[in-house]
Amino acid sequence: MLDLVIRNGRVVDGTGLPLFAADVGIRDGKIVAVGKISEVAKEEYDAKDQIVAPGFIDPHTHFDAQLLWDGAAKPAIEHGITTIVPGNCSLSLAPLKAEHRMKLVGMFNQIEEMPHKAFEEGVEWNWETFDEFVSRIEKDLTINVAPLVGHSVLRLWVMGDASMQGPANETQIEAMKDLLDQCLSAGAIGLSTSFVDMDERLQPVPSRYSDTHELAALCDVLAGHNKILQVVHEFYDTDLTLARVDQLAEISLKHGITTTLSPLFVNEDNAEGAKQIMQRVVDQTARGARVWPQVQTRPIDISFTFSVPSLLFIRLPSWYALMRFNTPDQIMLTLQNSEARAKLVAEAQGMMSLWKRLVLRQVQTDANQVYVGKTLAEIAELRDTDPLNVMIDLSLEESLDAHFLSSDMGHNDDELVASFLTHPNVMIGASDGGAHILSFSTYGDTGYLFSRFVRQCKAMGLEQAVKKITSDTASLWGLDNRGFVKTGYAADITIFDDKSIGRGPEYYVQDVPGDGYRYVRDAIGVDAVIIGGALAYNSDSGYTDARKGRVIG
């Protein structure tokens, strides 16, 4: 007898071929039949002529900590995601010695804007090695996890404080190679490194102190396991990114591995640079190299207050240091000091085009409610000042609890973005799900792909879009037995309405350990998600008790 039959669906199987009407039969977590099924099952699900597709795969997330208190990685599953890849940007929660825990928390706080309190109240530190971490999260998984191991934590484990001082010696490199080998054997799907990120002291993260010899040695280990290398490149500089593509190509050719760089931002400001980068990728691919840029589907909406350091200010050293290293009371006093304020205003003048576009999203006082929803340019005109000073004034009036929104950063040219998303050498990804929970929503990439680029722009067909975020991604990341609705494949399936799937409005909820909030987006049009052969979520009743997710290294 079958465990589950999905009936009356239109199957988009992940191959890119046209959809077809079929039932899907599942037994023991596997797809065992696709077609007209007369056999009875323990459970049946009526897909009601909706799309039955392979579960979506998100290749760039930071759910590492959240998995310790939420094995479903909410709200990822609601958006059709059945497999996530955490451990990006050189950071993973293992291997990690006890004495380095707070160092790692500091880096997660700085790079991914994850609150200290979430770690303090939501994480029970009861592991050190990678296999111990895998055992820890597998106890309560609803979603599948394909974890990377971070280069920075490998260095911390082997080198301690010396990891933040310079390159490793031969003995240390050999120790890192052995450690990486253990992690890959325990379920890691590859190594992540970063060439740009900074720690909590605004110093380079440990991976940035490595040299090419060290990285090559670690890639030898990746080659032995046929695993991937993920890098955060110098996305702010075209020339540096071109050089990084060339380096990754040489690594790929020498070691025979796949490499991916994330994220490749695409907007009008860097249109020509992005095109140059893609041409370099195409040229290196023609040589046989495997270099895959990751491109986001959605624009970035950043919400922030002056009480929490935001990466929006990372280009303004005085501003970022003020928010990063001071209490709210100290920030207030600095902004009230005319001399200090004048210096800050002078430093930020070059970004006036951004300040003009910011929207006042939320305030606490009745007096300022009239301005909510207006741009700072509009408010400045009403108050006879400029957008930058009105942002400071409102923050002071609201005791730093004025929320500002930078909307649609990055995407302002659908045709340009579509040309990248449909490019055969581009991986759709880089959602950052689980990170930046206090500043912007990192959910809804999949819905936005279908609503904007399939339905609205018609830049790609339904079948191509599904293939991009299922079988293509599974193949690149070495996730065997996933990405297709075919017999013998894992029964990870997303059922959705292709006429309505999208991302809902952004809002925040109080559900982060430590009484913190995070910005989320409701999913639209995702009817049901099946993981490991069991119904994990449906839009009518929410999450089920099924816990069929696992670590898939």
Tell me the C-alpha distance between 156 and 134, whole Å: 19
Q: For residues 183 and 121, is the Cβ–Cβ distance under 8 A?
A: no
Q: What φ, ψ does residue 429 adopt, rounded to 5°?
A: 180, -150
Please tell me the predicted confidence (pLDDT) of residue 511.
58
Q: Which residue has the higher pLDDT, 122 or 19?
A: 19
Residue-wise pLDDT for 446-489, tens only, equals 999 999 999 999 999 999 999 999 999 999 999 999 999 999 99
Please tell me the predicted confidence (pLDDT) of residue 303.
73
Instruction: Tell me the mean pLDDT in the region 210-238.
Output: 95
Please tell me the predicted confidence (pLDDT) of residue 507.
54
Please say if the pLDDT value at position 168 is more than 80. Answer: yes
**C-alpha pair distances (Å), 382 with each of 353, 377, 378, 386, 403:** 18, 9, 6, 10, 19
Per-residue pLDDT band at 117 (split at 50, 70, 90): confident
Nearest partner of 31 among 23, 39, 20, judged by Cα: 23
β-bridge mates for residue 531, sequence order: 534
CA Rg value for the chain: 24
Residue-wise pLDDT for 306-332, tens only, equals 887 777 787 888 998 898 889 999 999
Please say if the pLDDT value at position 201 is more than 50. Answer: yes
Per-residue pLDDT band at 109 (split at 50, 70, 90): confident
Torsion angle, alpha carbons of 255, 257, 263, 269, to 10: 60
Q: Residue 226: CB partners within 8 Å, gap ≥ 6?
A: 257, 478
Please say if the pLDDT value at position 44 is more than 60. Answer: yes
Within 13 Å of residue 189, how many CA atoms lie on the same side as its CB?
27
Residue-wise pLDDT for 59-86, tens only, equals 999 899 889 999 999 889 999 999 999 9
Please tell me the predicted confidence (pLDDT) of residue 132.
98
Per-residue pLDDT band at 512 (split at 50, 70, 90): low
Instruction: Tell me the mean pLDDT in the region 43-67.
Output: 95
Residue-wise pLDDT for 245-276, tens only, equals 999 999 999 999 999 999 888 876 788 999 99
Q: Residue 114: CB partners within 8 Å, gap ≥ 6?
A: 62, 65, 108, 434, 435, 437
Delineate the domains of the chain, giving CATH numbers in brackets.
56-299+410-506 (3.20.20.140), 302-408 (no CATH)
Give the pair of three-digit tokens for residue 299. Answer: 């624009």
Tell me the C-alpha distance between 231 and 195, whole Å: 7
Please tell me the predicted confidence (pLDDT) of residue 441.
46
